[in-house]
Structure 1
């Protein structure tokens, strides 16, 4: 099981945070965080439901983490283990995560795949997303996996798509000429780019592209 205490800063004030496995008693709060993070017009049927959350804590509790501040859940991150070799990158989020139900979790796999990361807007300036991602890196090491992998939205791409291809957009983000809210965040978390994937998820802002980014276990090189 996972449990970690740390301090984050709100302005200049240290605030104690706890990162731990989420459990059944947390489900209502986890769903509320998703509602806060993804308000309408985001489809409510795409938010976590109790069946998905039950699968997370029963099939792979090591991949079901939340961050708590002052007794309130401020965010969560969820993963599963899959087996993916180089060249297996052309997949959709729905395929690789079983639409978030993770019934395809493979304890013998080589990759911890991120299903979702979510922070309540009230807590987004505390750096909690980066700390939760770091916790998943620690799980990769603890479990002896080769890497962490996941696909991120590219919500800035629709603004530039008339003038550049997806490959050119990614390159400009990597060169610092453009900033993308998700890709730039993942870079700050230590993730490195693998490739953009077409038809990864239904997202108008990303034109349905997802940016696969990984973190390799430094003890498995």
Structure 2
């Protein structure tokens, strides 16, 4: 994957690149994580060099970054799995705590481990470009779908008033706006369930919405995938 394009925040147009990340990018990738997930998000969940090494070694096609003017300002990471209704839904189990040592080169689900954009670059649409690039990876590898748990940081403040399923339903209907779920919906992903204890995340009350994008060029076998 190597994609060059121009992006705009409505005021300026800048050249950008979507590409695989490499070892030389590790320090910048970790810095983007620190900017993107400030406290109370646990700093222990930011990438470390061992995890990043596993990403580029085991599944380089799923290790993408966004670069503007020579600076890495965002990234998206995935792995391939085969999942069914008995598979665990928490982030640590599905992603091997972010090390992706459970990556299956024949897996039919491309599972999103993480996506983040440095706050000062979030108006340039880079998150959508990374997501689109990962959709293209799904098609290129002939996977059935892209799946991942979407944080729902607006839910924590409303958890006493509604269930997480009701919250996801209202965001999907456009009655509420959520910083993460609304973005994923705009990218074309749809909710197929809610996972409890997905990730230690106070703002989301530890819940996540399971958000899917189906490969339009393959037929889904619902007996194999949840």
Q: Give the TM-score taking structure 2 as reference length.
A: 0.94
Measured against aligned partners, the alpha-carbon deviations of 1:94-120 in whole angstroms (never above 9, x if no partner) come to: 000000000000001110000000111
Determine the C-alpha separation between the residues in 2 that align with 1:136 and 1:44: 26
Determine the C-alpha separation between the residues in 2 that align with 1:88 and 1:126: 39
Count of aligned pairs between the two proteins:
219
Which residue matches 2:156?
Answer: 158
Determine the C-alpha separation between the residues in 1 that align with 2:106 and 2:14: 38
Which residue matches 1:36?
Answer: 35
Which residue matches 2:207?
Answer: 209
Which residue matches 2:4?
Answer: 5
Given the superposition, is the C-alpha separation of residues 156 and 41 from structure 1 closer, same or farther in structure 2, using an over 3 Å criterion?
closer
Q: Give the TM-score taking structure 1 as reference length.
A: 0.96
Shift of 1:132: 0.2
Shift of 1:11: 2.0
Are the aligned partners of 2:41 and 2:201 in contact in 1 as well (CA < 8 Å)? Answer: no
1:50 counterpart = 2:66: no
Shift >6 Å, 4+ stretches: none
Measured against aligned partners, the alpha-carbon deviations of 1:158-209 in whole angstroms (never above 9, x if no partner) come to: 2221111112111111111111111101000110111111111111121111
Shift of 1:148: 0.3
Shift of 1:90: 4.7
Are the aligned partners of 1:90 and 1:197 in contact in 2 as well (CA < 8 Å)? Answer: no
Measured against aligned partners, the alpha-carbon deviations of 1:115-156 in whole angstroms (never above 9, x if no partner) come to: 000111110111100110000000000000000000011111
Shift of 1:44: 2.4
Given the superposition, is the C-alpha separation of residues 142 and 173 from structure 1 closer, same or farther in structure 2, using an over 3 Å criterion?
same
Determine the C-alpha separation between the residues in 1 that align with 2:55 and 2:20: 10
Which residue matches 1:24?
Answer: 23
Q: Aligned to 1:101, what secondary structure does the other structure show?
A: coil
Are the aligned partners of 2:195 and 2:208 in contact in 1 as well (CA < 8 Å)? Answer: yes
Listed as ranges, the matches of 1:1-221 within 5 Å are 2-85=1-84, 87-88=85-86, 90-221=88-219
Any stretches of 5+ residues in structure 1 without a counterpart? none
Determine the C-alpha separation between the residues in 1 that align with 2:4 and 2:130: 12
Q: Aligned to 1:177, what secondary structure does the other structure show?
A: coil
